[in-house]
Structure 1
Amino acid sequence: MVSLAVWCWLLAGQGFFWRTDQRLPRRAQGVPAQGRWPSVAIVVPARDEADVLPLTLPSLLAQAYPGTAEVFLVDDGSSDGTGGLARSLARSEGGLPLTVSSPGEPERGWTGKLWAVRHGIALARARDPEYLLLTDADIAHEPDSLRRLVESARGGGFDMVSQMARLRVASPWERLVVPAFVYFFSQLYPFRWVNSARRRTAAAAGGCVLLRAEAAERARVPESIRQAVIDDVSLARAVQRSGGRIWLGLADRVDSVRPYPRLADLWKMVSRSAYAQLRHNPLVLLGTVAGLALIYLVPPAMAFAGLAGAGAWAGWAGLAAWALMTGSYLPMLRYYREPWWTAPLLPFTALLYLLMTVDSAVQHYRGRGAAWKGRTYARPEAEAARES
């Protein structure tokens, strides 16, 4: 009964998180048709991205943007020839100007990605752009992506516009886990709340962030978030705290091409930062595990228990909660073009996420937490203690 009550509250009182209608407006009035378009610097941090770069970098170089735009790819210590491949693609594809640079190993207290972003922004500021597009190396953009982002930022008066790229769903495990990843993220950070000027909910999707250069300076980005493992949410909070307006929505024309074909790949992707999301707090971890069990595991357990004769009221309450859960997941499955009959499997996917979160904490206490492409990051308090 408690689980059923929680689901009734979630559907009505958690910012309608289950809806998927927060998208860039189809027509924005941010820039007159014959007006001056603001200049944009596109910053792409890249570490060992030779596999995906041929699918993504040409889409940035081919942006049909009416104003001045330039791409800055920051090779973050790659060992697979990422920088050379980027230069080769620029020569063969043409399009926007490309600058490839490397900042060297990050200084103590910086995560690798933000160290690369810092270097890219420093290069870009020499051109004095009005906007910065921070986009990951695995993100492919349709030719009008940049134009629509700028239109939406100018038209809505936003200092930061971010889109949750449509992630790849090709393998069976991707189909099971990936839509749920976005569903859980929107449940934690309802997009409507992020986009409301009356609320203080802050979040972003790090794969595609258009940021006003003035807002970045005002928020001291990325220096103010240099230790952040979950850098996109930290970026949104920094911009919001400095007085900036932010917007977050689902993308229609921005896609991640990074493959996660095996469960082990998805497990690593989630577990590397899950405990950081919980602020490395054991009590928060216990509360999260209990909450996931109550919300996602109790309904099917009680439904089957009722069928087994444990009590009709428990069975019906569990079945009702499971039905609400299933219905709330359908819009996300439609967004990812997945069949409706996979929606009742959400409790199993939630169990996987519960185990991934616990594993993230275990790896953290073993000294292997927040690891990515050969680097392991300490939590900020530990790093500050070493520096002092």
Structure 2
Amino acid sequence: MSALALTAVGSLLAWVWLLLGQGFFWRTDQRLPPHPDPGPDAPSWPDVVVVVPARDEAAVLPDSLPSLLAQDYPGRASVVLVDDGSTDGTADVARALSEEHGGLPLDVVAPGEPADGWTGKLWALRHGIAVARGRDPRYLLLTDADIAHAPDSLRVLVASARAGGLDLVSQMARLRVTGGWERLIVPAFVYLFAQLYPFRRVNRPGARTAAAAGGCVLLDVRAVDRARIPDSVRGAVIDDVSLARAVKRSGGRIWLGLAERVDSVRPYPRLADLWRMVARSAYAQLRHSPALLVGTVAGLALVYLAPAGTLVAGAAWGDPVAAWAGGLAQAIMAGTYLPILRYYGRSPLYALLLPFTALLYLLMTVDSAVQHYRGRGAAWKGRTYARPQAAPEEG
């Protein structure tokens, strides 16, 4: 068997394993029920405080904050927006929106610059959680400043947590796919995230896999205490995964799924914008390990680039084994991508472009490592973390 054929067969075997042995990551059926609660007259709806970390978010707040203020929640709820050193008038915009729209009460607070060992978002969350705890809520909703919620979002999250006995409920917000680069890269981002952290495994009690989507995380306050959130993950750049691991390690039950009516309003119109979003934390996810980087690059090449390459080369060079194995691997790859394309309302033809998209992610990952060794680490909104953590272990 030729080296080309061996590569094609190796890729095919990898895709068979991913199809059947990686928690059915390609399924998109992990969703919260749309109406899990008995109605607005249900007794004893628990108190909730929504915590929104915000740094230079004045441009997106008009599209997101009113949706939080307008939550149709039967119990007591309020919003704490943490202005994390913004220079664009984020705090003033938030207060003006609250005066204009009314709804849930809003407080805007400022934590000051992060202390040593803290990343900016988690420092902001620490301050916001401390303010929220002063109101003695049962649940905290941690949500990003660019996330818009349907009016019943908080009700559905709380009802699902109570019905399932869950300590953490997280929905991966539907990201924007308006521009050309967004259409190409964003669905693949969710697809690859699910491949790394299969939602079914995350949601299975006793399974070690843990993850959350930081844009929408409902937390039981008792789990916050057990897991020492956010102090136990204070140095993490990939804060959502770190938070979920801490909750699960402490014995909590977690759930992660795709959102129906929780949407990101942040635009990523240029490739450079999406590149920064991925590259800022990719090497941290690999624990800054050169060996893991080499393995990841080789794995991406074998799994995503080899199928089309061996199919074309096998057909051109008269190697039927390479052509058939590469073609089958390509078919499985495209087939597993179709459900997430349907979720985002994209044409099935984008499945044929997945190898090119994967090549872009490969290059983003390499660039993340290059920036790390240049001392730039994870740069985001004017802050640079030279040696960020992926998901720190508790001491």
What TM-score bracket applies, with the shorter chain setting the length?
Answer: over 0.9
| Alignment CA distance shift 1:20-1:191 (3 Å) | same
CA contact (8 A) 2:36 2:160 kept: yes
The one-letter amino acid paired with 1:69 is A
1:18 matched to 2:26? yes
Partners of 1:227 and 1:342 lie apart in 2 by: 37
2:56 alignment partner in structure 1: 48
CA distance in 1, matches of 2:381, 2:308: 38
Of the candidates 80, 85, 98, which is equivalent to residue 93 of structure 2?
Answer: 85
- Does the C-alpha gap of structure 1 residues 234 and 30 become closer, same or farther in structure 2, counting only changes over 3 Å? farther
Does 2:265 correspond to 1:257? yes
Quote the RMSD (CA, aligned, Å): 1.3
In the alignment, does 2:189 pair up with 1:189?
Answer: no
Question: Aligned-pair distance for 1:31?
Answer: 8.3
Q: 2:312 aligns to what? A: 304
**Could you tell me which of 330, 355, 372 is aligned with 1:322?**
330
One-letter amino acid matched to 1:376: T
Contact 1:65 1:144 in 2 (8 A): yes
Could you give the per-residue CA deviations for residues 175-229 of structure 1, whole angstroms, max 9, x where no partner exists?
0000000000000000000000031100000000000011101111001100000
Which residue does the alignment assign to 1:213? 221
Q: Distance in 2 between matches of 1:236 and 1:310?
A: 50
Distance 1:300 1:380, change over 3 A: closer
- List aligned pairs for 1:252-291, cutoff 5 A: 252-291=260-299
1:355 equivalent in alignment to 2:363: yes
Query: Secondary structure in 2 aligned to 1:44?
Result: strand
1:119 is matched with 127
Q: 1:264, CA displacement in angstroms? A: 0.6
Q: Deviations over 1:223-246 (max 9, x none)?
A: 110000000000000000111000
Q: In the alignment, which residue of structure 2 is the partner of 1:109?
A: 117
Map of 1:100 onto structure 2: 108
Percent identity over the alignment is 72
What is the deviation of 1:33? 4.1
Provide the residue aligned with 1:61 in structure 2: 69
CA–CA separation in structure 2 for the residues paired with 1:25 and 1:91: 33
Change (3 A) 1:123 1:354: same
C-alpha distance 192-31 of structure 1, shift in aligned 2 (>3 A): farther
User: Scaled by the length of structure 2, what TM-score is found?
Assistant: 0.95
- The Cα of 1:26 is off from its aligned counterpart by 2.9
What SS does the aligned partner of 2:317 have? coil
- CA distance change for structure 1 residues 294 and 345 in 2, over 3 Å: closer, same or farther? same
* 1:202 and 2:190 are equivalent in the alignment: no
Task: Check 1:27–1:90 CA distance in 2 against 1; reply closer, same or farther (3 A cut).
Answer: closer
- SS of the counterpart of 1:162? strand
Q: Is the 8 A contact 1:30 1:155 kept in 2?
A: no
Instruction: Please list, as runs of the form range in 1=range in 2, the aligned pairs for 1:223-262 lying within 5 A after superposition.
Output: 223-262=231-270
Cα offset, 1:341, TM superposition: 1.0
Q: Distance in 1 between matches of 2:168 and 2:148?
A: 20
Shift of 1:28: 2.2
Letter in 1 for 2:278: V
What's the counterpart of residue 142 of structure 1? Answer: 150
Whether the 8 Å CA contact 1:203–1:248 is kept in 2: the answer is yes
Q: Which runs of 5+ in 2 are unaligned?
A: 1-8
- Choose the corresponding residue for 2:302, options 294, 310, 316: 294
Aligned equivalent of 1:365: 373
Q: State the distance in 2 between where 1:314 and 1:227 align.
A: 46
C-alpha spacing 1:29/1:92, structure 2 compared with 1 (3 Å):
closer
Q: How many residues align?
A: 382
Is residue 31–residue 154 contact of structure 1 (8 Å, CA) maintained in 2?
no
Native 8 Å contact 1:30 1:153 kept in 2: no
Cα distance between partner residues in 1 of 2:289 and 2:321: 37
Q: Supply the distance in 2 between the matched residues of 1:296 and 1:135 (Cα, whole angstroms).
A: 33
Q: Give, in whole Å, the separation in 2 of the partners of 1:144 and 1:26.
A: 9
SS of the counterpart of 1:308? helix
Change (3 A) 1:379 1:31: farther
